[in-house]
Structures are given as structure tokens and as C-alpha cells.
Amino acid sequence: MVKKIIFLIFIFIIVIALQKILTKYGIEFYLTQIIMSIYYTICILGLCLLMGYAGQISLGQAGFFAIGGYTSAVLTTLNLMPYFQQNNKFILFLIKLNAAAFREDMFGEKILTITPFAAFCFAIIFSAIIAFLIGIPVLKLKGHYLAMATLGVGIIIYRIVLGTQIFGCADGIYDLPEFKLFANLAISGSSKLRVQNYYIAIVILSIILILLYNLINSRIGRALRAIHTSEDAAEALGINTARYKLYVFVISAIIAAIAGCLLTHFNGGISPAEASIMKSVKYVAIVAVGGMANFYGVMFMGIILQFLSLRGYFGSFDDLIFGAILVAMMLFSSEGLFNIFKLRKKYE
Amino acid sequence: MDFSYYFQYFLSGLTNGSTYIIVAIGFNIIYNSTGIINFAQGEFLMLGAMTTVSYLKFMPLALAIICAVFTTMLIGFLIDLLFIRTLHKPTVLKMIIITIGLSIIIQELALHIWDEKVKTLPYFTGSLDTTIKIFNAYISPQVLWVLGSSIFIIIILNLFFKYSLIGKAMRACAVNKEVARLCGINTKNIISLSFIISSGIGAFAGCVITPLSQVQYNCGTPIAIKGFTVAILGGLGNNNGAIIAGIFLGIIESFSILFLPLAYKEAIATIILLIILICKPSGFLGKKELQSLKEF
């Protein structure tokens, strides 16, 4: 217990020290990439739950990330003014609920759009429904078939996003409003709000992490580990494997959608590249290198690798490095980087 | 819209379909001997075509193709030697991740070796403008090359599996690896051989199709997904099923242009794949009992 508290305090200090140091040396712009990688990491934690703890591979995580991002992007940029002028009752109802509000677009024109918070809620519900509908048939499959089916879902989402007018085709959607949380806090990419956004991202990451830890140490978590070890044995013990797998699939999709939604607001836009298969594979690589069933490992590796990748340290070898990481982790240490040290300690 | 118009679509579907068949057979060969799906299968096509483009600077086309096929076979062998043979306690999840990683590595290396430009090979006979008139439809002689070489590969493979001793050993491995080992078959070498064969036929198919469809460093993945769809449709591990399924998918794809926007053409194979995976994972022509015995 004491060890845990010391560990948490240590992390807390690092988080604050990092910001102070970056600000002091005038390289605060690094925070932007750190914030982005934190949001990506939230999405990866969802995959970690599904892959590491439940043992179900998914190559469609970026698809759910994109569903969250695109849903909120479409809703917060779609101009409802024409309907408002026709006195559409539904629109008036939305305004009454504070779910729609007037704002100015980038050309200074007055438009009526759904508020970010309402869009955020809708995006979560929508992605949960989609994950539920996809999960029922797809999760019956195992191994290769599951990998291919989730890959197929990812490809279809990518194609739909790329080929549909309302999603902006290859251009994506831009000009999103900032996401006002409460008081003066807002998720947005403007450089004035950078420090504030850093702490918001950290807090959101912590909340997700705490929720996930509680989930893992609950009845559901134990059931999941049983499923991972042996599905037949779990079933024999009276665990409804299909239902638990579906739960986890939906939860991981919701987490991905949350991350997608927040990152889209932070970036102020989203492009079809977010839904591409390579993104999904990168997430899988990070889960593998973080040690599969290890939230802390996945979190650290996620933030570090995504940060390096976003800052462009890998140059044109970006994808190659993630591919190599995948293969190397599987060949030499399928338990992740952190567990190598653990194992070594045991033997010394 | 007369008959010749439809015939043209039919032939283009058949051409694409025959490529998918070769890829699907490549999947099947490796699946039968190892029980894994090689996600890097599409990359063999790309490698075959790319190496031919490079070799073409030094030698005539026919020789370049032969050399390219052998180079790709060597790469396939190395993949097995370095990544599959050495693997401790291979689980399906591990294998999937390794082959996905390999496919990315090959793609990215290809990007750095051959750059990102679209490349092509000369037509085997005639040129871009040469056409042959069949039933009032004008087709390129390359189409006949593609169809002919696909049929050639299929026949040769069938003979190989049916009559040669090694072919029989490979079939024995596919049915039951443990028993095959008891009979004195070196299963590890069989796995190597299956990687070599499937990379070889992949490379050859890549060379033949390239004059029609061009080649780029990232063109392997879409073909692999379509090949996988075909393999599943025909029942995984079932080569004869793959032939029917390949023709089916190719023709559906080429006729889809009549009804759907072109942007969705790529998604058709994936949708078919999802439907078949959800409804009948053993495939149209696969036997259910046989499939349930296999690990997947």
C-alpha cells in the first residue's frame, strides 16, 4: 500500500515537473504532442482491456476512435440554421435543452450547431450501439477469424469515411468549436490553453485508468481473465463468455470513442487517416510492447511511443518501427518490455 | 448495353478473380501446413513485381521474372527460418501479430528501396494498344496471359499435391500434423516448403498481373484481404473451393460498378468477408466437420 502511494506521488511529481521544465525552457509546444499522445493512449487502454485482459484481438480500434471523432465533428459543425428558420420543433427543443447553440464559424457567420457536450454524449451512445451490433456476430469468432473480421470492420469504416460527402471525403472535417467543460476550462488546441489542456488530459487519463482498474478487480475482471486463460473452462464454471466478451468490446469501443471525440476537439478537426488500418495496427503494437495485460506498461509505452511518433523522431521509418516492434515483442518477449525486467529480477 | 459490353466486364472480373485465386491458394498452402493465416501473403505479389521491375534493367523479361520468383521464394524461406521456425510456444495470437508486423516491415522496406512511385512492367506480348477481338469484345492479350498462367499454376499444383511424394507429405501434414510426424515426415521442412511455394506462386501472379494493374509498395494489403475473402468463401484450406469463390468474387466486383460508386468497390470484398464469417465461417464449399477439427 505504502509502495503504491509513493509510486503515485512520484508520478504526480513527474507530471507537474514535466510541464514546469518545458515551460521554463520555452519548449512548451512539446505539450501539444504530449496531450495528443495522452488521448491516443486512452484509446489504446481500451484496446488493452480487450486484448490483454479478455484475449480478444481487435484490428478495428481506430475505426471506433474515428466513429467517436467523426460523430462529434459532424454534429458540432453541421449548420442547423435552415431548420431553425423553418421553426422546426425538434431544433427548438434541442435549443431548450441547451443541446444546440449559436456560434460564429471561421468566416464570422452566425451558425446554429449542436453543442460539444451533447455531441460527446451522442458519440458515446452511437459508438456503443455500433460496437454492440458488430460485437454480437463478430465475437463468436476466434483467432484469425476474429482478427480478420475486426480488420474488415475497420476497413469498411475507413471506406465509408473516405467516400461519403457528409464526412468530408478525403479532406475530413475541420473548424470544430472548443469543448467547454466547466468554469473556464475548455478543450481546444489554442496555444493559450495549452498548459490547462495538459492537466485536463492527465485528469481524464487518470479517471479512465481508475475506472479500468476497478473493472479489472471486479467480478467482470476475474471472469475476463478466466476467459483469457481458457474459454471452455470459463464456460464450464458458469461464466457467460459471450456476454462478457460483448461487454468488454462495447466498453473498449466507448473508451476509443471518448478519446476520438476529445482529440478531435483538441485538434479542431479530423481526417480519414485516423480510421486507417495502420493506426489500428499501431495500437496493437503498443499494447504488445506494453505487456498486454498491464495498464501501466501500456500507458507509459503509449505516451512515449506516440509522442516520439508525433514529433517525427522516427522520420519516414515510422510505420517500419511499429512493425518491427510488433515482430520483436512477439519473438523475444511476448510479455512486454516491462516484464523482461521483472523476470530478470526474479532470477537474479 | 449489349452482350459484348457485359462480356468485357465478365472478362475483367475473371482476370481479377484469377489473381485472387492464386493469393487464396497461397493462404491455403501455408494454413494447411502451419494452421496460421499469413497476413503478409499480399506482400509476396508486390515483392515479385517490384523485383522484376528492378531485374528488367539487366536482363530480358522472361529471365527477370524467373529470377524475381526465386528471389521472392528466398524471402519466403527466410521469413519461415527467422520468424516461424524459431518461435517458442506458438499461439494463434502471436502468429497473427507476427505476420501483420512482417507485412508492415516488408511494405516499408519496399517503400525505401523502390520509392513510392507506381511502377509497371511491359506487356508480355504486344503493347498497351494491342487488342484481341473475342465475341465483339476487345481485350488485351495480357488478360489471356493472366488467365493462362493461373490455370497453369493451378494444374501444376494439383499434380504436385496428388502425385509427388513431397506433395503427399504436405497433404498428410494438413490432415494431422502429429500423425504425419509419426510417419517420419519432417514437419518443419514441410512448413518451410509451404512458405517457399506460396511466396513463389504469389510472386509469379504479381508479375503477370502487373502490366494490367500496376504495382506500388502498398498494393499488397488490399489484394491479401481479397485473397483471404476468397479463401474463406471457398472454405479455408480447400483449393478447389477457392477457384470457384475467386471467380465469384472477381465477377461480383467488376459488375458492382454498374450499381455502386467506384469508391465502394474496395469495400465489397470486405462486406462479403464479414457476411461469410458471421453466417458460415466454414465457407460455401468447406465441410463443417472438417473445419471444426482445425484450430482457429
Q: What is the per-residue pLDDT for B69?
A: 95
Q: Which residues of A touch B97 (CB under 8 A)?
A: 57, 284, 288, 326-327, 329-330
Q: What is the per-residue pLDDT for B293?
A: 43
CB contact under 8 A, A323 and B98: no
CB contact under 8 A, B270 and A152: yes
CA-to-CA separations, A39 to A175, A258, B25, B73, in angstroms, rounded: 19, 9, 42, 43
* Cα–Cα distance for residue pair B76/A322, rounded to 1 Å: 21
Q: Would an 8 Å CB–CB cutoff place A227 in contact with chain B?
A: no
- Provide the whole-model pTM: 0.87
Residue from B203, B222, B200 nearest B49 by CA: B203
Q: What is the per-residue pLDDT for A336?
A: 61
* Cα–Cα distance for residue pair A41/A24, rounded to 1 Å: 26
Q: Which residues of A touch B36 (CB under 8 A)?
A: 144
The three-state secondary structure class of B134 is: strand
Considering only alpha carbons, which residue of chain B is nearest residue A162? B263
Q: Would an 8 Å CB–CB cutoff place B221 in contact with chain A?
A: yes
Model ipTM over 0.85: no
Q: What is the per-residue pLDDT for B296?
A: 40
Confidence check: pLDDT of B56 > 60: yes
Confidence check: pLDDT of B164 > 80: yes
Residue from B198, B209, B208, B200 nearest B71 by CA: B200
Q: Would an 8 Å CB–CB cutoff place B101 in contact with chain A?
A: yes
CB contact under 8 A, A55 and B102: no
Contacts of residue A40, defined as CB under 8 A and 6 or more positions apart, other chains included, come to: A259, A263, A283, A302, A306
CB contact under 8 A, A330 and B98: yes
CA trace torsion A163, A165, A171, A172 (10° rounding) = -100
> Shortest Cα distance from B23 to chain A (angstroms)?
16
* Cα–Cα distance for residue pair B284/B240, rounded to 1 Å: 11
* Cα–Cα distance for residue pair A174/A73, rounded to 1 Å: 8
Q: What is the per-residue pLDDT for B289?
A: 52
> Shortest Cα distance from B175 to chain A (angstroms)?
19
Q: Model confidence over B235-266: pLDDT tens digits?
A: 888 888 888 999 999 998 888 888 877 767 77
The number of beta carbons lying within 10 Å of the beta carbon of residue A238 is 7
Q: Residue A178 has what DSSP assignment?
A: P
* Cα–Cα distance for residue pair A198/A189, rounded to 1 Å: 11
Amino acid at A329: M
CA-to-CA separations, B174 to A144, B42, B47, B167, B191, in angstroms, rounded: 17, 22, 27, 11, 10
- List beta partners, residue B133: B138
Task: Judge residue A206's burial from the number of C-beta atoms within 10 Å of its C-beta, 0-12 exposed, 13-18 middle, 19 or more buried.
Answer: middle
- List beta partners, residue A187: A179
* Cα–Cα distance for residue pair A220/A202, rounded to 1 Å: 26
Average predicted confidence (pLDDT) for chain B:
85
Average pLDDT over residues B184-196: 89
Q: What is the per-residue pLDDT for B292?
A: 47
* Cα–Cα distance for residue pair A156/A169, rounded to 1 Å: 14
The number of beta carbons lying within 10 Å of the beta carbon of residue B30 is 25
% pLDDT > 90, chain B: 27
Q: Residue B80 has what DSSP assignment?
A: I
CB contact under 8 A, A152 and B104: no
Can you give the pLDDT of all 348 residues of chain A as single tens digits?
788 889 888 888 988 888 888 888 888 888 899 999 999 999 999 999 998 888 888 999 999 999 999 999 999 888 888 888 887 778 888 888 777 878 777 777 788 888 889 999 999 999 999 999 999 988 888 777 888 889 889 989 998 888 888 888 788 888 888 888 877 788 887 778 888 899 999 999 999 999 999 999 998 888 888 888 888 888 888 888 889 999 999 999 999 999 999 999 999 889 998 898 889 989 998 998 888 888 888 998 899 999 999 888 888 888 888 888 888 888 876 666 665 555 444 444
Half-sphere exposure of B195 (CA within 13 A, CB side): 27
* Cα–Cα distance for residue pair A164/A33, rounded to 1 Å: 29
Q: Where are the alpha helices (DSSP H) in chain B?
A: 3-34, 41-55, 61-79, 92-114, 141-163, 165-175, 177-182, 187-213, 220-233, 239-256, 265-279, 288-293
Q: Are B48 and B202 in contact (CB under 8 A)?
A: yes
Q: What is the per-residue pLDDT for A348?
A: 41
Q: Which residues of B touch A281 (CB under 8 A)?
A: 100, 104
Q: Which residues of B touch A319 (CB under 8 A)?
A: 104, 107-108
* Cα–Cα distance for residue pair B272/B278, rounded to 1 Å: 10
Amino acid at A348: E
Residue count (chain B):
296
Amino acid at A265: H
Which of B92, B100, B281 is closest, CB to CB, to A281?
A: B100
* Cα–Cα distance for residue pair B23/B146, rounded to 1 Å: 13
Q: Residue B119 has what DSSP assignment?
A: B
* Cα–Cα distance for residue pair B2/A334, rounded to 1 Å: 59
Q: Would an 8 Å CB–CB cutoff place A285 in contact with chain B?
A: yes
Which of B92, B232, B263 is closest, CB to CB, to A162?
A: B263
Residue from B30, B80, B25, B92 nearest B295 by CA: B92
Q: Would an 8 Å CB–CB cutoff place A153 in contact with chain B?
A: yes
Considering only alpha carbons, which residue of chain A is nearest residue B31? A144
Average pLDDT over residues B273-281: 83
Q: Would an 8 Å CB–CB cutoff place B183 in contact with chain A?
A: no
